[in-house]
Amino acid sequence: MCGIVGAVAQRNIVSVLLEGLRRLEYRGYDSCGVAVLGEEGPRRARSVARVTDLDEQVRESHLDGITGIAHTRWATHGAPVTDNAHPIFSKDELALVHNGIIENYESLREMLRDKGYTFVSQTDTEVIAHLVHSLYNGDLFATVREAIGQLHGAYAIAVLHKNQPHTVVGARQGSPLVVGIGNGENFLASDALALAGSTERFIFLEEGDVCELSLDGVKISDRDGYDAQREVRQVAAYGGAVELGPYRHFMQKEIFEQPRAITDTIPQADSFDPSIFGDDAQTVFGEIDNLLILACGTSSYAALTAKYWLESIAKIPTQVEIASEYRYRESVPNPKSLVVVVSQSGETADTLAALKHAQSLGHKHTLAVCNVGTSAMVRQTELSFLTHAGREIGVASTKAFTTQLVALFVLAATLAKLRGHLSAGQEADYVKQLRHLPAALNSVLALEPQIIAWSEEFSRKEHALFLGRGLHYPIALEGALKLKEISYIQAEAYPAGELKHGPLALVTEAMPVVTVAPNDALLEKLKSNIQEVRARGGQLYVFADADTKIVNDEGLHVIRMPEHYGLLSPILHVVPLQLLAYHTACARGTDVDKPRNLAKSVTVE
Ligand code: F6R
């Protein structure tokens, strides 16, 4: 997704800007660009290839300067062509980069055309550039403040003007933006990660903030235009670039990192203590009588799995909603709800907006399950649980998902205990199972060679069905999502009992049917569903717990999982599905870590 980097320094900052873009590359983008201020005004280089190509252009054109902005673009308005790449100029005097979407750009464009501005791109960004230019009064900070009053939508911007050679102005509303504080130099970025090489001191701007970076300081005003003091946070954890090591792709590496990520995420204590969610958690948990979980994509499947846990262990009614639906739906607020947002990045625009919507409806109790401690979601919720997956580079989420499951299981067990539904013996059992989980995961990862053998077959297919039941239905959904995201094979998931109500019509010899088969209370029902597929000549690919006694037969291909792992079984069963998607995509030769059209952190609606 789009990324912003900006800098004001007493040295040539082009390498800082390009390094920042490199650090944001993994999020997905289709063009990139950089602009610096020279005596004649801004100069720029733009590319519809990778940042390395931009780097070459910069060298060839000797682009250098001490004030600059840079961008990676993920196209929303207008194709990924050079004219639409940022920085966007206005009258060769002002340069601007933008993340997000401006909803009223058409009316603004008409107004600016009437004022004599010519549009050379199809972007909504160009209206912001011309708008700021048209209002410029010698003070870029004040002008940007005035201009954003006319914008509707979500945005983070960085802008520079020829007349202020040592100034970069930024503003945010709905998209993240952080200021990096250096010594005699200051930076701006859409993610602190972009500035990891330059500073460890950050200000996370708040909604409606406008900032001005100069050589000797940073000025910030809040949404009402008043001077604002924002906390400077020391964030050292961003470290250097993540290495691929012996793996072929980051996705493979991240699948194999799951035992470590889960070990780091499981709370240290040998009991379920609410304080892990925040100091006020015990009080908050005592005031709620239901949960509303909001999330998107893979995170929403973690939430769906959690619904089964929360209702069966903690006996607490739980509703899961896709964030992008919830935010626009008329719903009935319940002040006794705990609103939980689940997000790897903590910056997903739809989930953030859904959180705000829930708060605006009067929900005061909120909790974030998130992998990024400094993210907007963690900052905007009352309670939080941080997963410790580490940075996830592959666009398709893997270790973030399984660590979210761990976090949500801990939430279910904690609520069960507080509500009197967890005996001391059960508590000890759950803690023991959590502690043993990394070892159990290692035994599942050891199945990789068998999964590679299946993936050859899958790589020649164009469609696949995934089946699961109960607690494992969301795992089937996640398996299908992984396969479609990275191999581009159309894959659908159904609760196995639903097969005969429609999707069975799709089953032929050409349709592989992947089945998640744990040895749980629904096993006998699932076996009947398997027979329904076999009777129609379908080819079943079953991940069966060792104790299910499901074995290879005609039309029935089985990979034996370890013995059934009780309520935590979904965390084991998703791993072979991740590996199947991964190796199928490799066999098809797709760009596994950066699948087409997708971005890592979806910061636009
Ligand atoms: C799929 C995937 C996405 C994300 C979704 C939400 O592999 O990664 O479906 O899960 O975009 O992202 P977060 O969790 O960052 O809110």
**Comparing C-alpha atoms, which of 218, 190, 187 is closest to residue 372?**
190
Query: What is the structure's pLDDT at 602?
Result: 76
CA gap 496, 528 in Å, rounded: 9
> Could you identify the atom of ligand 1 that is nearest to the CA of residue 300?
10
Domain(s) of CATH 3.60.20.10: residues in the chain: 3-234
Quote the CA–CA distance of 177 and 564 in Å, as a whole number.
45
Show the tokens assigned to 492.
């659908």
Residue nearest to atom 10 of ligand 1 (CA): 298
C-alpha span between 19 and 194 (Å, rounded): 7
What single-letter DSSP state applies at residue 520?
S
Q: Is the CB of 397 under 6 A from ligand 1?
A: yes
Percent of the chain scored above 70 by pLDDT? 99
pLDDT in tens, 262-295: 999 999 999 999 999 999 999 999 999 999 999 9
Indicate the CATH number for domain 250-441: 3.40.50.10490
**Could you tell me if the CB of 310 is within 6 A of ligand 1?**
no
- Ligand 1 atom at minimum distance from 601 CA: 15
438 touches 263 (CB < 8 A): yes
Mutate to test the pocket of ligand 1, among 254, 299, 326, 393 (most ligand atoms within 8 A of CB): 299
pTM for this prediction: 0.81
Query: Measured from the CB, is residue 300 less than 6 Å from ligand 1?
Result: no
Return residue ranges of the chain for CATH 3.40.50.10490: 250-441, 448-588
* 287-323: pLDDT as tens digits: 999 999 999 999 999 999 999 999 999 999 999 999 9
Nearest alpha-carbon partner for 599 in 366, 386, 388, 345: 345
Q: Which residues pair with 342 in a beta bridge?
A: 369
CB of 254 within 6 A of ligand 1: the answer is no
181 close to 2: Cβ distance less than 8 angstroms: no
In short, whether 392's Cβ falls inside 6 Å of ligand 1 is no
| pLDDT value at residue 583 | 97
CATH node for 3-234:
3.60.20.10
pLDDT of res. 530: 92
Residue type at position 481: L
Instruction: State if residue 297 touches ligand 1 by the CB under 6 angstroms criterion.
Output: yes
DSSP assignment letter at 573:
H
Fold adopted by 448-588: Rossmann fold (3.40.50)
Contact residues for 173 (Cβ-Cβ < 8 A; gap 6+): 100, 148, 151, 153, 154, 155, 156, 207, 208
> 79, 73, 80: which is closest to 29 by C-alpha?
73
Could you tell me which residues are beta bridge partners of residue 211? 170, 220
Query: How far away, in angstroms, is 580 Cα from ligand 1 center?
Result: 19
pLDDT digits (tens, 9 = 90+) for 450-490: 999 999 999 999 999 999 999 999 999 999 999 999 999 99
Q: Give 238's pLDDT tier (boundaries 50, 70, 90).
A: low
Q: Whose CA is nearest to atom 11 of ligand 1?
A: 297
Query: What is the pLDDT at residue 309?
Result: 98
Across the chain, mean pLDDT equals 94
The reported pLDDT for the residue numbered 242 is 67
pLDDT of 237 > 60? The answer is no
| Separation of CA 344 and ligand 1 centre (Å) | 7
* Helices and strands in the chain, H and E counts: 18, 24
**Distance in angstroms (rounded) separating the CA atoms of residues 210 and 148:** 9
Ligand 1 nearest-atom number relative to CA 345: 15
DSSP category for residue 464 = E
User: Which tokens sit at 472?
Assistant: 């494992």
Q: Which residues contact 44 (CB under 8 A, 6 or more apart)?
A: 33, 34, 35, 36, 63, 87, 89, 95
Closest residue by Cα to atom 9, ligand 1, is 297
Q: Which atom of ligand 1 is nearest to the CA of 482?
A: 7
Cβ 190 vs Cβ 24: under 8 Å: yes
- CB of 90 within 6 A of ligand 1: the answer is no
340-396: pLDDT as tens digits: 999 999 999 999 999 999 999 999 999 999 999 888 899 999 999 999 999 899 999
Question: Rounded to an integer, what is the distance from CA 92 to the centroid of its chain?
Answer: 36
DSSP label at 547? G
Q: Does residue 208 carry a pLDDT above 70?
A: yes
Q: Is 2 one of the annotated active-site residues of the chain?
A: yes
The answer, yes or no, to whether any atom of ligand 1 lies below 6 A from the CB of 344, is yes
pLDDT for res 241 = 52
Asked if 600 is an active-site residue, the reply is yes
Q: Please report which residue ranges of 93-174 form alpha helices under DSSP H.
A: 105-114, 125-135, 140-148
Centre of ligand 1 from the C-alpha of residue 406, in Å: 17
DSSP state of 119: P
pLDDT tens-digit profile of 558-580?
999 999 999 999 999 999 999 99
pLDDT tens-place string over residues 44-101: 999 999 999 999 999 999 999 999 999 999 888 888 899 999 999 999 999 999 998 8
